[in-house]
Amino acid sequence: MKRRFLVALVAIAVIVIALAYGVRIATPPTRTPEVTPTIPAPTPAPPTPHPVVFAFKVEFDTGSSYGFDRIYLYHGSGTPVFEISRGKSATIAVVVTSLVNETLNIYLDNIEGVPVGVEAKLEPERFTLQPYEQIALKLTVTVSPTARTSTPQPTLTPERTPGGPTPTPAPIGNQTATPTPETPIAADYIMFYLTTGGIVRSTGGWGGGGYGFFLSIV
C-alpha cells in the first residue's frame, strides 16, 4: 500500500514536470519590437519666382519731341528733362510698343504731378495695339504765362543730434577728396499711367504702369 502510494506520487511529479516543460516550449519568447528611426522629410526648395513679363513698353522719343527750349537727361540718367518757357506749348513724342502676341486695348488712366497753370494732354487717350505693333502718341504740354517757374528740390543735409559732439575735422595730411554733390535740377516730375484695364492673358499679369518725366518751367 505504501509502495503504491509512493509510485503514484512519483508518477504525479513526473506528469507535473512534463506539463510545465511543455508549456515553456509552447510559449514563444517575448521579442523587443524594433524601432524604425523617423527620417525627417526634406525641406522643399523655395519656388522660383516667375519672371515679370510686361505687355508693352513706353519710351520718350526726345529726337521727335519739339517746341521745348532744350531737352536733356536728368543727371545723366535715362529720365528726360523737358525745359519750356512760360506762355509756350510743346509736344513730347511717346512711343508705345507691344511686347506680346495678342491684341491690347490701352487707355490713359491718369496724369499726376502737373503743376498749377500747366495743361498736359495725351493724344490719343485710347488706342489698340496689334501683336508687337508700335504706335507714337503726342503728349502736349501747355504752360500759362502766369505759371510759376520750377524750383529745385531741397538738398538734404546730414542731421546732427542736438547737444552731441561736434565732428572734429581730419588732419590736413589725412583728408580725402569729397565728391561735389550734383546741383538739383529745377523741374517738376510728371507721371502718366497707361493700362489695359485688366489681366493680360499671355503674361498672366496686370497690363500697365506709370511713366514719368521732368518738366522744367523757366
Question: How high is the pLDDT of residue 151?
Answer: 79
The tens-digit pLDDT sequence of the chain (218 residues) is 555 555 555 556 556 555 555 545 445 555 665 655 566 566 665 554 455 678 999 999 999 999 999 999 887 778 999 999 999 999 999 999 999 999 999 999 999 999 999 999 999 999 999 999 999 999 999 999 999 998 776 554 444 444 444 444 445 555 555 555 566 788 999 999 999 988 888 888 888 899 999 999 99
Domain limits, the chain = 56-151+185-217
Contact in structure between 81 and 189 (CB atoms under 8 Å): no
Give the DSSP letter of residue 186: B
Provide the CA 21 distance to its chain's centre, in angstroms: 81
- Confirm if 147 and 178 have CB atoms less than 8 A apart: no
Question: H or E stretch including 134?
Answer: strand 134-143
- Runs of H (alpha helix) within 27-47: none
3-state secondary structure of 69: coil
Contact at 8 Å (CB) between 62 and 72? Answer: no
- Give residue 84's pLDDT: 94
Q: Say whether domain 56-151+185-217 belongs to CATH 2.60.40.2310.
A: yes
The helix (run of H) or strand (run of E) holding residue 25 is helix 2-26
